[in-house]
Amino acid sequence: MSTTIQDLIVEAERCVACGLCLPHCPTYRKTGSEADSPRGRIQLMRAVAQDLLPNNDRFKQHIDLCLSCRSCETACPNSVAYGRLVDSTRALFIPKKNFVLSLAKPFIRCRALMNGLVRLLKLTQPWLRHTVPAAKLLPPLSTPLHWQTLYPSTAAKQQGEVSLFLGCASQALDSQTLQAAIHALNGLGYAVHIPAQQSCCGSIARQMGDGAEASALLAKNRNSFASAWPILTVASGCGAGLADYLPSHSVKDISAFLAECDWSQVSLKPLAQRIVVQDPCTLRNGQKSHAAVYSLLKKIPQAEVVALSGNGQCCGGAGAYMLTQPAMATQLLNDKLQAIKARDVQLLATSNIGCSLHIARGLAEQNIAVQIKHPVQIIAQQMARAAK
């Protein structure tokens, strides 16, 4: 994480300005401005790092508008590490004194505090929905669960041991997916460890320019996940952040892991339904394991598994982006809603809680009824029924 200005300049100079990344950049496609393109941003970063341009509000606006979706990185023939560049730029040149992040820090750092907050919000949510209009947009909260440190395998033949990363948003809003992951892994013969001291992955802090906080959270996770077992993540936003910044550990998306498992001990009940898959950028461009979601879901007999059109473009959720850049986030969300309506989607599978919440909010506002599930929820549900 501790990139220096010199490191940043060296990486930025690897960009040969070919422009092949431009058609893949959602913000460039929307604004048509070179300064909102990957090539333009890299030139700006380099110029500011070399003191050729001032580090002013205009520079900050162009960097802030970047989604960190890394579509440009995937498209780049020269493998310029754009994700690292933008993270370093935010940490070195535009660290934010963000009031919301400052307030959220104690909760992000401490799971017990976070659980207390979620319980309070859950208790008051019906009242909030009646009295505060914006609270209607809050997703239904999960009751925080007490996680055991070990969930033993339930299969006849043991396959191994893994660690599970909980993630703060997944714990608060999507404990069903974490339970489904444990169920699937145990059924396939894996013992699941949940280190009690694990914390937030640090991705939101990094995105907000708080490199010190992101590093502190990573250090906590590095100590908590000290064993050699693979660390499995259910939210690809967390997975990409951990895989990039904890290279000493084997971090894997749950679908990628499950797709490669030995399924001979398990039978899946057929599901005669079309499952439309949305690829989160963090899975597609970060962990580069989006193809595994399709392989995994295709194991379900009779399921028709198809990609949502426009999957190469970010939905606009992008961590805290939906809150910090609502206008662009809404434009990108509308494109996603159009694709969902055009395909008459009934069941949408997505591997990231951020995308799931952002798309669900858009669907609710337009009264479009679509079930959104994590792929592992769909798989576990078919396993559970098969076991009856």
| Residues that bind ligand SF4 in the complex, under the rule CB under 6 A | 15-21, 24-27, 38-39, 41-42, 66-72, 75-76, 78, 80, 82
Q: How far is the CB of 65 from ligand SF4 (least distance, A)?
A: 7
> Least distance to ligand SF4 from the beta carbon of 2, Å?
21
Shortest distance in whole angstroms from residue 68 CB to ligand SF4: 5
- In the complex, the smallest distance separating the C-beta of residue 37 from ligand SF4, rounded to whole angstroms, is 7
Nearest approach in angstroms of CB 86 to ligand SF4 is 6
Contacts of residue 6, defined as CB under 8 A and 6 or more positions apart, other chains included, come to none
Closest distance of CB 255 from ligand SF4, Å: 23
In the structure encoding, which two tokens stand for residue 234, read together? 């259910």
Pairwise CA distance, residues 351 & 283, whole Å: 8
Cα→Cα distances 72→24, 207, 313, Å: 6, 17, 11
* CA distances in angstroms from 37 to 12, 28, 70, listed in the order given: 14, 5, 12
| Closest to ligand SF4 by CB, 26 or 187 | 26
Compare residues 255 and 325 and give the one whose CB is closer to ligand SF4.
Answer: 325
Q: How far out from the chain centre does Cα 264 lie?
A: 30
Please state whether beta strands 274-278 and 231-233 pair in parallel, antiparallel, or not at all (unpaired): unpaired
Element (H, E) at 306: strand 304-307
Q: Which is nearer to ligand SF4, 169 or 314 (CB)?
A: 314
Give the residue among 120, 248, 224 at the shortest CA–CA distance from 172. Answer: 120
CB distance 83 to 45 below 8 Å:
no
Least distance from C-beta 84 to ligand SF4, angstroms?
11
| Contacts (Cβ under 8 Å, ≥6 apart) of 138 | 121, 125, 128, 129
Instruction: CB nearer to ligand SF4: give 92 or 232.
Output: 92
268 or 318: whose CB is closer to ligand SF4? 318
Q: List, in sequence order, the alpha helices (H) in the chain.
A: 5-12, 26-31, 38-49, 57-64, 71-75, 82-93, 99-109, 111-131, 168-173, 175-188, 203-207, 211-224, 236-245, 254-259, 281, 291-297, 321-324, 326-342, 353-365, 375-387
Q: Which is nearer to ligand SF4, 70 or 249 (CB)?
A: 70
Q: How far is the CB of 204 from ligand SF4 (least distance, A)?
A: 16
* Residue number, 21 or 277, with CB nearest to ligand SF4: 21
The tally of CA atoms less than 13 A away on the side-chain side of residue 132 is 10
The residue (of 308 and 332) whose beta carbon lies closer to ligand SF4 is 332
